[in-house]
Structure 1
Amino acid sequence: MILVTGATGAVGREVAALLAAAGPVRILARRPDRVTVRGDGVEVVEGAYGDRPALDRALRGVNSLFLVTNSPTEPDDEHVAEAARAAGVRHLVKLSMMAVEEPGADDFITRRQRENEEAIRESGIAWTFVRPRTFMSNTLSWAPGIRSAGVVRALYGDAPVACVDPRDVAAVAVAVLTGTGHEGRAYAVSGPEAITAREQTAQLSRVLGRPLRFEELGLDAARAALLAKYPRPVAEAFLESAERQRAGAKAAVVPTVQELTGRGARTYRTWSADHADAFAAG
């Protein structure tokens, strides 16, 4: 049995769907009503990472675990790893981030992910880290501005990033969960090309068949927008990450999707065409 966490998120949802198409899968969810993956072989266990009895129920009989955590403060990785070790889980596959392997990345979020990875290493369970670059789906945050005014507003419009389709990240994770020989390895995952926000806007314009305008946010406006949604350490981490992207630190393309799945990574144009409805005017 494989247990999937984070199944209401961009990658976990796709991992659960791919596994469910091939056989039984169990999902741990804090809000089971938000889980969209259903079927005869899908079992959903309600619970949070800090709820040890729920973790024990979810991990009973589990051989492999896909772990997604996102709290910047809670020791969720430690909680899950401890329960997984006690349950006899043999392989823990953690969704991490590519920045953890980059010496120049020292923002709050990256430091926390390094600490989370170390907690997994110290757990004694065989592990694999899947470390994606920025998700293409992050541009869904542009949808309200596109629908209402045909405008994309973002920081550093000419900063390149080899962003990746969450479906490709999920395919890599499933290959690791269901394959052999991946223990003790970390896989960086990128898209097939480095692309800027200005270029993404142009591609969305072509996909939608309507003109879109890109407006570059100033640093103060970007900080204010982030602080309206996130705690200050998280907001500042995003800004530090944007500075690294501006300097070209996120432009590298790696062939992991091809190597582990046998097909090339999807382009942003493909992703945007598949998600055009999210940007279409009502």
Structure 2
Amino acid sequence: MVLVTGGSGTVGGEVVRRLPAGVEVRVLARDPARVAAGGRVRVVRGDYGDAASLRAALRGVRRAFLVTTVVGGDQDACFVRAAADAGVEHVVKLSAAAVEDAGADDLITRWQRESEELLRSSGLAWTLLRPRSFMSNSLAWAAEVRAEGVVRELFGASLNACVDPGDVAEVAVRALTGPGHAGRAYVLTGPEAVSAVQRTARLSCVLGRPLRFEELGWEEARARWGRRYPPAVGEALLRSAVRQREGAKAGVDGTFARLVGRPARSFGQWAADHVAGFSGR
């Protein structure tokens, strides 16, 4: 049996959908109504902070997909401890490519490094997925694209080899269901590094309407992220954006193609699949 956390999220939901038909799937969710159940997929209510719910969810599980979201929190520690106690054999963890960047020392990256080390030292078999930024982050532009035909972003010319979350899920499924992935860390990127300006242009082509790009100033970006995230996380994102401007996120990695046997999907392909999110149609 495979347990999936984050089953209502960007990658976890794709993992649930892509797991082979013969695999019994259990999904841990704080709100089970947000996850489609039925057939081989069973959804159980649980929370990282509720040890009893973790024990129940992990009973009989051999492999697990781990997604944690509270920066600096103890979600990883709680899950790994419960997984070890339950006899889970292998945990596939969603991390981030920035952990390999020696120059990245923001709050989020330090947390990811600490979380990885906690799993590696747990005695459990592990696989680490280290994606670059998700293409789906561009959905944050959707409201302004629909209302104004404009994209606003900090450092519009800086490059990021962003990745389709579905490609990350594809590698997760292979690690959860096949041999040879224990003890491996996989950096996952898209096929090219693209800027916000370039993504705007490609989105314009997909939508069949002109879009305008407007560069955000530093304080404007800080204010925007401050409305969406806790202050410390917002500041970490600003530091990460500076690393991107310096070229730290432009490297393209061939791991996905090697593992899956096809090229990683492009931003244009991803955008074509998400026209409704930007058009409202």
Q: TM-score, normalised by structure 1?
A: 0.98
1:118-167: CA deviation from partner (whole Å, max 9, x where unpaired) = 11112111111000000000000000000000000000100000000000
Q: Distance in 1 between matches of 2:15 and 2:280?
A: 30
Show the counterpart of 2:49: 50
Q: How does 1:81-160 map to 2 (within 5 A)?
A: 81-160=80-159
Residues 21 and 274 from structure 1, CA distance in 2 versus in 1: closer, same or farther, beyond 3 angstroms? farther
Once the two structures are superposed, the pairs formed by residues 260-275 of structure 1 within 5 Å of their partners are 260-275=259-274
Cα distance in structure 2, aligned partners of 1:151 and 1:181: 45
- Contact persistence 1:148–1:281 (CA under 8 A): no
Q: Is residue 72–residue 109 contact of structure 1 (8 Å, CA) maintained in 2? A: yes
| Cα distance per residue 1:187-242 (max 9 Å; x no partner) | 00000000000000000100000000000000010001111121111001100110
Partner Cα distance (2:98, 2:229) in 1: 20
Deviations 1:162-187 (A, max 9, x none): 00000000001111111112111110
| C-alpha distance after superposition, 1:92-119 (max 9, x if no partner) | 1100000011101100000011111111
2: CA distance between counterparts of 1:259 and 1:234?
Answer: 34
Conserved? CA contact 1:20–1:41, under 8 Å: no
Corresponding position: 1:32 with 2:60: no
- Paired residue secondary structure (1:228): helix
Q: Structure 1 unaligned segments of length 5 or more: list them.
A: none
Q: CA deviation at 1:27?
A: 0.4
Letter in 2 for 1:15: V
Task: State the distance in 2 between where 1:277 and 1:194 align.
Answer: 24
Aligned to 1:222: 221
SS in structure 2 opposite 1:78? Answer: helix
Describe the SS at the equivalent of 1:130: strand
Q: CA deviation at 1:258?
A: 1.0
Q: Which residue does the alignment assign to 1:15?
A: 15
Aligned residues of 2:2 and 2:23 also touching (Cα < 8 A): no
**Aligned residue type for 2:166:** R
Structure 1 residues 236-251: aligned runs within 5 Å: 236-251=235-250
SS at match of 2:17: helix
1:277 aligns with 2:272: no
TM-score (ref. length: structure 2): 0.98
**Letter aligned with residue 267 of structure 1:** S
User: Identity of counterpart residues, as a percentage?
Assistant: 56
Shift of 1:72: 1.2
CA RMSD across the alignment:
1.0
Check whether the contact 1:162–1:192 (CA below 8 A) recurs between aligned residues: yes
1:73 Cα offset (Å): 3.2
C-alpha distance in structure 2 between counterparts of 1:211 and 1:65, whole Å: 44
Aligned residue-pair number: 281
Q: Which amino acid aligns with 2:8?
A: T
Q: Residues of 1 paired with 2:251 and 2:257: CA distance?
A: 15
Task: State the alpha-carbon separation in 2 of the partners of residues 177 and 106 from structure 1.
Answer: 30
Counterpart for residue 182 of structure 1: 181
Matches of 2:163 and 2:249, distance apart in 1: 11
Are residues 281 and 31 of structure 1, via their aligned partners in 2, closer, same or farther at CA, if it must alter by over 3 Å?
closer
* SS state at 2:214 partner: strand
For residues 156 and 126 of structure 2, the distance between their equivalents in structure 1, rounded to whole angstroms, comes to: 37
Contact 2:19–2:173 (8 Å) recurs in 1: yes
